Structure 1
């Protein structure tokens, strides 16, 4: 058995509102190096921790965590659409192991996911169906939110399960870092939008989905011109978070409350709990060595954009 973790920010805005060509080239180089490491590792199973943005999970039933026994991507923002190759028996075993460890996680046999799941699979593996994948949803936008501690315990339980499989396992964490795009909040919307957040938004008409995407695109354009138009990015917090993961001090984040994180780095920064879960899963394989760290605040994508990889110390990563 062996394991590798690759965490990467995602953005639906790539191709819509892009930074300067030099920055694009830089990010593409980071992704290319990550993809080369993954190709060399040749994973036999991917466990993907990712959030949703009211495309697959709604307030009709909003779990903190959900493990997919089957999943389909909707193809928003021109990301790939279609089914994932979910190994049902292993996904069921993973869910049982998590519950046995005392972490409450829902399961879904018809999980619907968006760009937060599809984009990292496209960028890092070349498609959403290139490798068997167990999708793990972590609620990162819909209050009440899970804590850092619960995300860590979820990851540790999944890592312990993965360590029993005698497979090369790739853990992916998708999302973050600091950012707060215009995601609706149930407490501050009209009746029509509240109905969408409570489940009717699961199958939006094409024109309404396009209008929703255009709101995000226009918000990004305004943010480039006026970074006071949204919650500002927080590079200092982002770099400190990367330090915490790289040094293996994941439990240090347990004491950081959800309201404090939102105030520090934006309400969508809770997506970093996918990174916490991925690194916690890797920690079940023993001490790890981090490398291929990248960070840049990218206002065009309304994100502190980062990447970080790691592998158990017994099998250190090669520099790509």
Structure 2
């Protein structure tokens, strides 16, 4: 079964703010490279590894991993709302296969996905329903988090299962590298925010607009040096990308969650989506990188990267 990989950062500020022309053109060129890669590969289905930011998953029940058997975009930060085209049989069989591999994974008949899942689909395919998608949620925000080794094992189980299928599958990972945006934590949230991230109470239009404005102001202030968010860490980001490019993911097992947060910030745990996608690619027969873009972008509050990879030997075949 043919596999290909594309991983990219996402940011709620990508389409909500006007940035210098050079920055916008640079990021668009990287996304354009990814679009051409995906178009040339022409996947039959996408397996999408994505986090959530308390828009679809909440503390009332927070699984470490979840497969969406049906899924809908919530429409946050200007991204599209509405249903994704989830192939039921493939998603259900994937969940069964992961469980049979001794990896605990939940399933959802009503998964709600936010910009972390929707934005890459829009950037690469134009619409969220233009290609069949199996969404794989990885908790990357809500402590406590399991060890990153478990993420690697999840990815490997997915890759082994996909290796036996006939479809052309794009493994799509969506997450920032080093970044520490104003995402609430249960330990520090106000009583009202704590109630929302536990119960999943839908944000009102006013609350959603206020949250959006807060993030826009944080990005602008961070770029100008007036908002004291944790600095981006390009050196750590590049080390992570080097490790993925090497194809040897074993050293990741020694990366503790505490160390990841110290190096990259509270939302750096989104690298889990990249790890799962690359582990799946490795288990499917190995891979080699074909494209790599990286830029620390304070305006987006993110170490921003785009990468692609193909099966080992395919780039020179």
Normalising by structure 1, we get a TM-score of 0.96
Distance 1:227 1:171 in 2: 38
The aligned counterpart of 1:58 is 58
Query: Helix, strand or coil: the match of 1:57?
Result: coil
The aligned counterpart of 2:242 is 243
Provide Cα deviations, 1:289-308, integer angstroms capped at 9, x if missing partner.
10210000000000000011
The aligned counterpart of 1:8 is 8
Q: Does 1:20 align with 2:15?
A: no
Distance 2:49 2:152 in 1: 12
Q: Does 1:91 align with 2:91?
A: yes
Q: How many residues align?
A: 317
Q: How many Å apart are 1:227 and its aligned residue?
A: 6.6
Q: How many Å apart are 1:228 and its aligned residue?
A: 6.2
- Distance change in 2, residues 1:18/1:243 (3 Å): farther
Query: Helix, strand or coil: the match of 1:198?
Result: helix
Task: Verify the 8 A CA contact 2:44 2:169 in the aligned structure 1.
Answer: yes
Q: How many Å apart are 1:19 and its aligned residue?
A: 3.5
Task: Verify the 8 A CA contact 2:142 2:185 in the aligned structure 1.
Answer: yes
Q: How many Å apart are 1:18 and its aligned residue?
A: 4.2
The aligned counterpart of 2:183 is 183
Q: Does 1:262 align with 2:268?
A: no
The aligned counterpart of 1:72 is 72
Distance 1:124 1:147 in 2: 30
Distance 2:44 2:292 in 1: 24
Q: Does 1:116 align with 2:116?
A: yes
Query: Helix, strand or coil: the match of 1:102?
Result: coil
Query: Helix, strand or coil: the match of 2:38?
Result: helix
Normalising by structure 2, we get a TM-score of 0.97
1:1-320 equivalences under 5 Å are 1-201=1-201, 203-226=202-225, 229-316=228-315
The answer for unaligned runs of 5 or more in structure 1 is none
Provide Cα deviations, 1:116-159, integer angstroms capped at 9, x if missing partner.
00000011112111111100000011001122111111111111
Task: Verify the 8 A CA contact 2:15 2:78 in the aligned structure 1.
Answer: no
- Distance change in 2, residues 1:317/1:61 (3 Å): farther
Task: Verify the 8 A CA contact 2:57 2:200 in the aligned structure 1.
Answer: no
Distance 2:237 2:183 in 1: 20
Q: How many Å apart are 1:17 and its aligned residue?
A: 3.3
Distance 2:316 2:169 in 1: 14
- Distance change in 2, residues 1:187/1:47 (3 Å): same
Distance 1:200 1:151 in 2: 25
| Structure 1: 4+ residue segments shifted above 2 A | 15-19
Q: CA RMSD in A?
A: 1.3
Distance 1:16 1:156 in 2: 36
Task: Verify the 8 A CA contact 2:294 2:305 in the aligned structure 1.
Answer: yes
Q: How many Å apart are 1:37 and its aligned residue?
A: 1.1
Query: Helix, strand or coil: the match of 1:221?
Result: helix
**Which moves more between the two structures, 280-289 or 55-64?**
280-289
- Distance change in 2, residues 1:75/1:195 (3 Å): same
Task: Verify the 8 A CA contact 1:310 1:317 in the aligned structure 2.
Answer: no
